[in-house]
Copies of this chain bind each other. A is one copy, B any other.
Amino acid sequence: MSDNNISIDSVIENLISIHPLLTKSFSKSIRSKTNLNPGSLYVLGVLSVYDMLSMSEIGCKLSMPKPHVTSLIDKLIMEKMVERLFDPKDRRIINVRITNKGKDDFNTIKLEISQEIRQKLEKLDADKIELLSISSQHVKEILMEISIENKTDSSYCKIK
């Protein structure tokens, strides 16, 4: 139990350190190498995972206020990267689905914004890269798990 808490403390220490490092690696090249703002790219990212989500679900997954989601989706639609679909079951709901162009563009963008970090990774030892690959996979999976679980993100998500 006490052991658990020590581990949790170290997890949080680590995540708080990792966050600005990733921001540094990605945010700048999103701006300089794409015509999307970071927010639109995050939306495209979740849609590349879930394929289709409603406006509310997007805001929930990314903790964005609904009006912001609207404006980001507008941009992605202008770029034909996503499309709006009306839900026949409940006509209030607007589902957003990533298009094939959106998927292709997202892959291209991922390559472009990761060029710098890729060059640095290439200089590391093979076993260190392998360790980072496995470790980042675990971090990603567990974070996604506890993120999905979170239906009660007070301000943006309603309890289902």
Residues of B within 8 A of A147 (CB): 21, 24-25
A78 at the interface (CB under 8 A from B): no
Residues of B within 8 A of A133 (CB): 7-8, 10-11, 14
Contacting pair A62 B139 (CB below 8 A): no
With both beta carbons as reference points, the residue of chain B lying nearest to A150 in the complex is identified as B120
CB within 8 A of A135: which of B26, B136, B149, B155?
A: B136
Taken together as a complex, chains A and B put the C-alpha atoms of A123 and B150 apart, in Å, by 12
Residues of B within 8 A of A131 (CB): 138, 142
Contacting pair A146 B117 (CB below 8 A): yes
Given A26-B16, A62-B24; A4-B142 close (CB under 8 Å): no
Taken together as a complex, chains A and B put the C-alpha atoms of A58 and B121 apart, in Å, by 23
Taken together as a complex, chains A and B put the C-alpha atoms of A124 and B11 apart, in Å, by 13
Contacting pair A139 B149 (CB below 8 A): no
Of the four ranges (under 10, 10 to 19, 20 to 34, 35 or more), the interface on chain A belongs to 35 or more
CB within 8 A of A146: which of B11, B13, B120?
A: B120
Residues of B within 8 A of A21 (CB): 140, 143-144, 147
Interface residues of A in 120-134 (CB under 8 A from B): 120-124, 126, 128-134
Instruction: Write the nearest CB–CB distance from A35 to chain B, whole angstroms.
Output: 18
Contacting pair A22 B11 (CB below 8 A): no
Taken together as a complex, chains A and B put the C-alpha atoms of A45 and B137 apart, in Å, by 25
Which residues of A line the B interface, CB within 8 A? 3-4, 7-8, 10-28, 42, 45-46, 49, 61-63, 110, 113-114, 117-118, 120-124, 126, 128-140, 142-144, 146-147, 149-150, 155
